[in-house]
């Protein structure tokens, strides 16, 4: 896809981008130059052709079945903003939480290979339980790893899921992509 937000396999690099060996080499070369590598984590949905979703479509006994939100299995499911090629993940599912945030989960795996942090796609669409576990895993693996969240509104007082979000003060995220500030600067510069 052109957007690349349709994860097929959290454990593998798209061959178009290189190999795991290439990734380690990139991280090492960047670190030698004082550059940090932050990965873009897409954890609110996968691609419809992901190994996880395909397995859930094949069988309700799949270890990934509970990761997805089916209205009527197999072809009626929740998708990110109604985009059927991006099936929504149940981020509160213990199996998914462990796979992403566990001791040997995806977050720690890529940090061990050399990543220095994570940028979270649509962080404001991720529930607090997931963000709490994510932060715990990342900081346990690499205390100085950076967690950047995509939050389009003012993150200092953002409410979603029926409550005020706990992004700041070291409680979930280290920072956010500050779109309101960027928009204010652009508006100012454009008159």
pLDDT at 161 over 80: no
Mean predicted lDDT score pLDDT of the chain: 95
150 has catalytic annotation: yes
User: How many Cβ atoms sit within 10 Å of the Cβ of residue 62?
Assistant: 16
* pLDDT for residue 19: 97
29-72: pLDDT as tens digits: 999 999 999 999 999 999 999 999 999 999 999 999 999 999 99
Catalytic residue among 91, 124, 150, 174, which? 150
121 has catalytic annotation: yes
The pTM is what?
A: 0.93
Catalytic residue among 88, 116, 121, 174, which? 121
134-150: pLDDT as tens digits: 999 999 999 999 999 99
Identify the weakest region by mean pLDDT among 70-79, 97-106, 156-165. 156-165
């Amino acid at each position: 896809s052109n957007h690349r937000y349709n994860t097929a396999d959290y454990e593998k690099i798209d061959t178009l981008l290189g190999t795991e060996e290439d990734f380690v080499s990139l991280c090492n070369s960047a670190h030698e130059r004082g550059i940090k590598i932050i990965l873009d984590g897409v954890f609110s949905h996968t691609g419809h052709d992901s190994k996880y979703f395909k397995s859930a479509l094949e069988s309700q006994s799949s270890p990934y079945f509970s990761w997805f939100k089916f209205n009527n299995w197999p072809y009626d499911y929740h998708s990110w903003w109604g985009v059927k090629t991006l099936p929504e993940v149940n981020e509160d599912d213990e199996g998914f939480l462990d796979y992403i945030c566990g001791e040997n989960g995806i977050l720690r795996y890529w940090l061990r290979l050399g990543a220095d942090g994570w940028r979270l796609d649509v962080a404001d669409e991720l529930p607090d339980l997931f963000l709490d576990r994510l932060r715990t895993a990342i900081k346990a693996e690499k205390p100085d790893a950076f967690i950047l969240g995509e939050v389009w509104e003012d993150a200092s007082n953002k409410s979603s899921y029926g409550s005020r979000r706990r992004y700041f003060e070291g409680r979930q995220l280290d920072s956010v992509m500050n779109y309101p500030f960027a928009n204010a600067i652009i508006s100012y510069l454009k008159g």
